[in-house]
Structure 1
Amino acid sequence: MYVLHICHSYYPPFLDCARQYAALFTNHPYKVVTVYLTGKPDPEVEKISASDEVIFLGYSSKQVRGLKLGAIARIRHLVKSRAFAFCIAHRAKPTYVALLASDLPVISVHHNYDDYGRLTRRILVNYYRKRLLMLCVSDSVRDEMRQHLEHWPAEQIQTLYNRIDVDALKQSLLSRQQARRAFALEDDTYVIANVGRLHRDKDQATLLRGFAEALSQLPANTLLLILGKGPLEQNLKDLADKLGVAGKVRFAGQIPDARCYFRAFDLFVLTSDHEPFGMVLLEAMAAELPVICSNSGGGAEVVAGVGQTFPLGDATALRGEILAAMHRKHDRAHEIQVLQTRFSDAAARERFWALPWVKKISNVHWK
């Protein structure tokens, strides 16, 4: 039997999401056929997808707007060519394609908030509700979706956390010395790091304000290192200058494979406004870093029992957590244990196959 796996695209972070879901079928009798609606064929993407077969439909984003009739026709033809048991579709567009192109049960994976805030979207999924399972990347996203789809049974809107291949990621990490050399950092520099798009949703403005408040009590050689690019870059640089900390803040730009360099850091801080999940937190934990995260969205779920949280947008509270982190004993072994038991491929596989809806569709023919 085959599993149809439809992804809108393979640009980050969705290529890794495709790998995560293909990994659910390790040591299971299903063969996974991953279809990318957009993007040209790429051998490296095919390799990372970790599927039995990868198909690139090659559409542009513009071509899959609206009714997506071409994609629906091609998926319909594909469904007729294999004995597919069910479909996994990431995000709203691939879900619509899967529903309209087949009679398969569909597991719809949701990575963001407000996917069903629109009435038209709710009408479609309500019509096909009997053959839909919604999987959300965090309880925060799940709870918001349950509000939009309030008449759905709770068992049909569930959480399946994002995850990492813990061992593979740890092996990809550069040593502290190598990573620091890449950023031209002195060995004794105390580095507070943030990785993310420079966008208001990531709220690096609060990070700068909290850092500025804490700076007088931090070591003299402290540096705030911000990785990423985005529309607010100049605004944030201007804010750092206004706060008088520009000489202690470095904007490093977009770094390919940034997670490989995390051992260069001493503390990782994520200040996002309603982060649906926060993969970067898992990457920081794999590098055995102490983490601080805003208490908004899925990020707070990721660091529960491991890292520290502060109220969203509260620079003074963030200042307190930054200062406390220097003196708090960091339990690295517990951090890795949490990764293995909650956010690993093995943990996700156990959770996925235990879901009643998945048990139902994997054991009987859909009717």
Structure 2
Amino acid sequence: MKILYVITGLGQGGAERVVCDLADSMYEQGCEVKIAYLTGNVLTRPFHKEIEVIELGLKNFSFIFRAYSSLSNLIKLYNPDIVHSHMIHANLLSRIIRLTTPIKKLICTAHNSDEGGRLRMALYRLTHNLADTTTNVSNTATISFEEKNAVPENGMLTIYNGVNLNNFKYNSFAREEINIEFNLRSNVKIILAVGRFSRQKNYPNLLNAIKILKEKANLPFKLLIAGDGELREYIEKLIDGLNLKDDIILLGRRSDIPKLMSSCDVFVLSSDHEGLPTVLIEAMACQAQVVATDVSGVREIIDIYGEVVPPKNSESLSDAIISAINIPTKNISGAQYVKNKFDLEIISEQWLDKYRE
């Protein structure tokens, strides 16, 4: 089977990692695989170098016809059995290309409950019939698309993101190594957040919660944030303004996320919206206690194995962090739960079944 994955970009994000891991899994099962991306720098790649990664050259909207031509020619030359697109720009472009370019089977996957305003949702609806199958990554995200009239009723399936949990396991030496790296005393509680600095992730909500925690709880702590993005300067100024500079370490991009997750006392997700936040699955797989805002997909991940709080409520977020910090054991049951539900091997089989239909 020949598969072409098409994605908006290959930056450092959850959807990008999911697509690359899925491509690796399909390659390992004997499929021929390529990945085409529309724009941006390549920060996430598949493990197998045999999987060709192809830039389509969408630098800005004026390059749309170039990207259209590049993807159309690629499909004609490669002649894939499956074109599987991910994220709104890739989904819409792949659908429109089908008007002029034969595609044997087109599957379009959204990765969020909110992929833009009314115009984008209208474009999804108008082009819906150009895809053979449209999916989203959580039940709540699927329902959101139906409510926004982006898809007809029962016109979208839910298939969860698969996570390569061979890469995310508890490391019993991690805490000692992190303590040494950042010169932390053994009694200092580690709070961890991972994700790009974007409005969606609502780091101001987390920082305000940390300010409340500092005033309310008499415990030594350090907040580590791994990630980068367009709002970094704003976040740095906010940290200074809240007088939290001594309590927070901005790590930038890190290649040892599983070690960080294994070392923390609590992992926090403070987002305003998501699709299926795979970073939460990864943290739970590393046996982290977790606290997350009640946004799309979160309850489907956490179930009974963590704390869920209202979004944009720093007081509730702070209370939940304090509660989670005081749990004396690792989240072993949560780790087993996400392995049984989201492991890449399980999800890859579901995709293979869908490809073969």
Name the TM-score, length of structure 1 as normaliser: 0.81
Cα shift at 1:125: 5.1
- Name 1:143's counterpart in structure 2: 143
The whole-number CA distance in structure 2 between the counterparts of 1:185 and 1:5 is 43
The whole-number CA distance in structure 2 between the counterparts of 1:94 and 1:106 is 12
The amino acid across from 1:56 in the alignment is I
Correspondences of 1:60-139 after superposition (within 5 Å): 60-62=58-60, 65=61, 68-99=64-95, 100-101=97-98, 102-104=101-103, 105-115=105-115, 117-119=117-119, 122-123=122-123, 126-127=126-127, 129=129, 131-139=131-139
The whole-number CA distance in structure 2 between the counterparts of 1:336 and 1:71 is 41
Name the CA shift for 1:136/1:144 in 2 (closer, same or farther; >3 Å). same
Name the CA shift for 1:46/1:209 in 2 (closer, same or farther; >3 Å). closer
- Name 2:174's counterpart in structure 1: 175
Name the CA shift for 1:231/1:110 in 2 (closer, same or farther; >3 Å). farther
The whole-number CA distance in structure 1 between the counterparts of 2:40 and 2:206 is 35
Secondary structure at the aligned position of 1:285 is classed as helix
CA contact (8 A) 2:23 2:46 kept: no
Cα shift at 1:126: 3.0
Name the CA shift for 1:77/1:139 in 2 (closer, same or farther; >3 Å). same
Confirm or deny that 1:16 pairs with 2:17: yes
- Percent identical pairs in the alignment equals 19
Name the TM-score, length of structure 2 as normaliser: 0.83
The whole-number CA distance in structure 2 between the counterparts of 1:151 and 1:191 is 42
- Name 2:210's counterpart in structure 1: 211
Consecutive unaligned residues of structure 2, counting only runs of 5 or more, are: none
Name the CA shift for 1:264/1:30 in 2 (closer, same or farther; >3 Å). closer
Correspondences of 1:134-283 after superposition (within 5 Å): 134-149=134-149, 152-154=152-154, 156-170=155-169, 175-215=174-214, 218=217, 220-229=219-228, 230-241=232-243, 247=246, 249-257=247-255, 259=257, 260-283=259-282
- Residues 299-343 of structure 1: CA distance to partner in whole angstroms, max 9, x if unpaired? 333222221111223333233323322443546331221221122
CA contact (8 A) 1:91 1:110 kept: yes
Cα shift at 1:75: 2.6
The whole-number CA distance in structure 1 between the counterparts of 2:26 and 2:227 is 34
- Name 2:356's counterpart in structure 1: 362
The whole-number CA distance in structure 2 between the counterparts of 1:58 and 1:76 is 10
Name the CA shift for 1:4/1:223 in 2 (closer, same or farther; >3 Å). closer
The whole-number CA distance in structure 2 between the counterparts of 1:290 and 1:265 is 8
CA contact (8 A) 1:217 1:323 kept: no
- Residues 245-276 of structure 1: CA distance to partner in whole angstroms, max 9, x if unpaired? 554x2132413225142233211122221233
Structure 1 runs, 4 residues or longer, greater than 6 Å off = 171-174
Consecutive unaligned residues of structure 1, counting only runs of 5 or more, are: none
Secondary structure at the aligned position of 2:242 is classed as helix
The whole-number CA distance in structure 2 between the counterparts of 1:47 and 1:201 is 26
The amino acid across from 2:23 in the alignment is A
Alignment RMSD (CA, Å): 3.2
The amino acid across from 1:71 in the alignment is A
Whose Rg is larger?
1
